[in-house]
Amino acid sequence: MRLENKVAVITGSATGIGAATVHHFAKEGAKVICADVNVEEVQKTVDEVKDFGGEAEAYELDVSDADQVQEFANYLKEQYETVDVLFNNAGVDQEGGKVHEYPIELFDKILAVDLRGTFLVSKFLLPLMMDKGGSIINTTSMSGRAADLDRSGYNAAKGGVINFTKALAIDYGRYGIRANSIAPGTIETPLIDKLAGSKEEDEGQDFREAQKWVTPLGRLGSPEEMASVALFLASDESSFVTGEDILADGGLQAYTWPGKMLIDKSWKENIE
């Protein structure tokens, strides 16, 4: 019960990492407010939590809309008075081509949700944390540390969130508020199905095989593994950790370039 009697807010909590974290937090005693633009899907997550006796509620929220976020903050103040843990997990991703052909509206959309949304939710919920202190966790990505082909919008947004997290850490450390981020590698989520194809599709199978052999641990990560990192950062077990971007990518960014792996068959075969 590491989060007993804590009020935790998780955005982007309908599926994937967000939904897994809702489960982890609720099982550790938190009252979890599950905010997502997809209210029907997030209600399913809430119902699952209630089935095992946890406390959770759904809230429909577009994190890129300042008015909606301010209304959300007002609701939280009225209902709970305080917020102990904020997990800014809402995000979108999509390929857009090379920079000179990248659609402006796509760039704006990704930054609006991934970066602006993290800013807005933090801005309006911070006053609910400043009296008692707490923990802010932001989802970044290994793609915020290094670039992906044809995804400059996502790279820029997640890189921005990494440094924004550091700004939160130094601005609010004296209020007892810690701010850290999690940089997942390739995680088995619905977003991966959308971007690369599902396990049942040939394209999705090829993508997963490529990720498996190029990742030192030889597999994709799970939402539950990311939720465990979030739980550590939310709890007092990380009480002296702030301003950090914790990379959880199975070792993918531990090497400089995959030169030998391209020609060493044993490297690929030993993950089978």
Spell 91-106 as b/e; 16+ CB within 10 A means b: bbbeebeeeeebeeeb
Q: Which residues are the active-site residues?
A: 154
E-assigned strands of the chain?
7-11, 31-36, 55-60, 85-88, 134-139, 177-184, 245-248
Identify whether the C-beta of residue 127 lies closer than 8 Å to the C-beta of residue 175. no
Q: What are phi and psi of 178, to 5 degrees?
A: -100, 145
Instruction: Give the span between the Cα atoms of 7 and 24, in whole angstroms.
Output: 13
Instruction: Give the span between the Cα atoms of 178 and 13, in whole angstroms.
Output: 21
SS3 140: coil
